[in-house]
Chain A
Amino acid sequence: MKNEGKKAVWSEYQKEIADDKFFYVRSCIRQNFFPGSEVAFLRILKEVLGKDVYEHPCHTTCSGIGYHGDIVPFETAMTVVARQFALMTEAGYENYVPSCITSFGLYTEILDTWHHFPEVEKKIRKNLKEATGREFEAPKNLAHASDVIFKFRKEIAAKAKYKLINKNTGEPLRVVDHIGCHYAKMFPSKGVGGAEYPYVLAGMIEEWGGQVIDYPERRHCCGFGFRQYLVQANRGFSVACSKEKFESMQPFKPDMIITNCPGCPMFLDRWQYVINEIEGKQYGQNGEGIPVFTYEEVAGLVLGFDPWDLGLQMHQTDCEPVLDKIGIEYSPEDKYKLNSLNHSQPKHLVVNV
């Protein structure tokens, strides 16, 4: 692998990312499965970097999962999105930052559609006015939350408490990056580094001391496939996709996986559990799984946030191997601590203890 070649490709995809005054829009899936990541994003932007980030209490789903589940027509999705834009306009913001990749892809698709078919935009404006009385300006800058962290990766590195380095060997951790399909596959020019060699997560990994692993199935979908996971009868597809990725990355001995999409960290995390249950197979080292993280979780760890504040206890595949390699201080007893009254633990632990 020749890294200069990749650098040349990366340099052809420079993306403009706003540097302050963000209008933040949450991800449905991440709020449910990785709430700590969104908390960390806001904490990093506001407290660590001193940025202005606004969240409107009345924003909703973008309807993207419904759109890609084909139950929500495009016109409906466009109008729901137009409403989100209206909230941004009313709040006086111009830089739109969605936390979700499906949303980001949908916004990009919609803006592109409006660009090519102005009559569609007109119609959506009329729809929105009729349904809600609202009006909107399209965002001046649209960046995914991972773009924003990418933009500030150096500032984060400068304040870092830890590096993505194995403290025992001094070697960089070997990190697999998984980019959500809808980040750049539809519109390569809208992603940092393009669609073939996205740099958005690779840039963070490099900056924070790790080494990026490129493996044959790097670009393969995690297997969400919307209806392919949403309906129980189809989940075989979903697990088969993730499995293909694990098999392909295993020879490279990755220490961890980092992702920027809502679904991917969940599937890459949970399907390891399922495959292990069915086949007794683990893809990490020493009979362990490969820990999977969101980019905010990794940024938070690097900055010295407490792993359990980041919500790492919600992962099915244990994150501790990576914490130990880096030498992050954490308290194992506190992992599942909720409050003084609630001392519950996941079942597998109760059984084993």
Chain B
Amino acid sequence: MGKHVVVIGAGVAGMEAAGRLSRNGLEVTLLEKESVAGGHINDWFRLFPDRRDSNEVREYLINLSSDPKIQLKTGASVDKLTRHGSSYLLTTDAGENINADAVVVATGFSLFRSSRKEEYGYGIYENVISSADLEKLFISGEIVISSGKAPQRIGIVHCVGSRDEKVGNLYCSKLCCVTAVKQAIEIKEHLPDSEVFCFYMDMRMGGALYEELYREAQEKWGVNFIRGKVSEASETIDGKIVVKVEDTLAGRPLKMDIDMLVLMAGMEMSEGGSKLAATSGLKTGENRFFASADHHFGSNISNLEGVFFAGTCIAPMNVTETISHARAAVTEVMEYFSNNNR
């Protein structure tokens, strides 16, 4: 009988892994807690660095994972994962039991809940929004603030919920810098007369074509980059946002009035992932993401035999890396089965 693999999470990593597993002749159950597959990519308008339409990637993933060997179950999250002999028993929140010969954990990330960074007033001040909210505005085709008008001055805050002991996240989320640059350009495309300010600590442009995008933002679009982490935001009587930040290169504290503040929310271990870690015995690391067996050559391997990691459930990754990581997970699964069959 063919082996059966359960993939937990039908985002980019889960869909890629499921598709590749089925191509290798395995039976796959793909579990997704939301009502549709796709994960975060469903909420994103365009992707960095080339600003391609995210639908193209989504369609690729849907095609890949639309295979009779793959059974997609939406609205299903995993409550329990227990080992039975050489296989695993998964119990969903609906009480369904599923047997698996191997498991791929692709529970992904959650965006940092920006209201936790209290001093930025997300959820309190009308015109403070998150990077995800801005994508929704891009999708709607209209960038407006609470007054219904287009914003003139827009601030973009890097590192919201990342590199910050106060919220318990010491790590860099790695993708928010390039997201900020991408979104800054898109704002300028929509509103050519607007002024856009990125408040950053370090520009972490370590991906293919990222630095080029940064340069384009400066040269072609006139985006302003100010080196300093925003200290606080507050609201004036006419709904403007006052930002306090130090221009650390000039050594000068600034107080700026802007119309809209966009918070680059970081990536955190997903809630589903944390729940799974708590009930399965899967180990997590100090950043609360799942802990791989080895950073260099075992990043797909967990502390449970036959359970493998794919994608951002172990650390922030971009789409390219996530897809590669999911494929690598599939390689590990195949090797696991061939070793066990011997």
Contacts and interface: CB of A to CB of B under 8 A. Distances in A.
Task: Let me know if chains A and B touch directly in the complex, using CB atoms closer than 8 Å.
Answer: yes
Nearest to B235: A1
A216 interface: yes
A90 interface: no
A218 B234 contact: yes
Interface in A195-221: 195-197, 214-219
Contacts of B115: 5, 8-9
B172 to A, nearest CB: 24
B242 interface: yes
B124 interface: yes
A6 B124 contact: yes
A218 B119 CA distance: 12
B124 A1 contact: yes
Contact of B125 (A1, A215, A217, A218): A1
Contact of A9 (B118, B125, B236): B118
Interface in A243-258: 251-252
A252 B237 contact: yes
B242 A5 contact: no
B281 to A, nearest CB: 31
Nearest to A217: B234
A116 to B, nearest CB: 16
Contact of A251 (B119, B121, B237): B237
Contacts of A4: 123
A274 to B, nearest CB: 23
A2 interface: yes
From B126, B234, B235, B242, residue with most partner A Cβ within 10 Å: B234
A214 B118 contact: no
Given A1-B124, A2-B124, A5-B124, A196 B118 contact: yes
From B118, B126, B234, residue with most partner A Cβ within 10 Å: B118
A194 B119 CA distance: 11
Size range of the interface on A? 10 to 19
B186 interface: no
A219 B124 contact: no
A219 B235 CA distance: 12
Interface in A1-39: 1-2, 4-6, 8-9
Nearest to B234: A216
B135 interface: no
Contacts of A1: 124-126, 235
Interface string B196-236: 00000000000000000000000000000000000010111
B234 A5 contact: no
B236 A216 contact: yes
Contacts of B124: 1-2, 5-6, 9, 197
B237 A2 contact: no
Contact of B232 (A2, A219, A251): A219
A212 B83 CA distance: 57
Contact of B242 (A8, A197, A216, A251): A216
Contacts of B235: 1, 214, 216
Contacts of A215: 234, 236-237
Given A1-B235, A216-B242, A251-B237, A196 B126 contact: no
Contacts of A5: 115, 121-124
Contacts of A251: 236-237
B236 A8 contact: no
A10 B232 CA distance: 18
Contacts of A195: 118
B225 to A, nearest CB: 24
A329 to B, nearest CB: 34
A194 B235 CA distance: 19
Contacts of B242: 216
A76 B51 CA distance: 62
Contacts of B126: 1-2
B118 A194 contact: yes
Contact of B118 (A2, A197, A217, A218): A197
A195 B119 CA distance: 9
A251 B239 CA distance: 12
Interface string A225-255: 0000000000000000000000000011000
Interface string B121-134: 11111100000000
B245 to A, nearest CB: 14
A1 B118 CA distance: 14
A2 B146 CA distance: 12
A217 B257 CA distance: 13
A9 B119 CA distance: 11
17 contacts: A1-B126, A2-B123, A2-B126, A5-B115, A5-B124, A8-B123, A9-B115, A9-B118, A9-B124, A197-B118, A215-B234, A215-B236, A215-B237, A216-B235, A216-B236, A216-B242, A218-B234
Given A1-B126, A2-B124, A219-B234, 14 more contacts: A1-B124, A1-B235, A4-B123, A5-B121, A6-B124, A8-B115, A9-B115, A9-B118, A216-B235, A217-B234, A218-B234, A219-B232, A251-B237, A252-B237
What 4 pairs across the A-B complex have the smallest Cβ distances? A5-B123, A5-B124, A196-B118, A216-B234
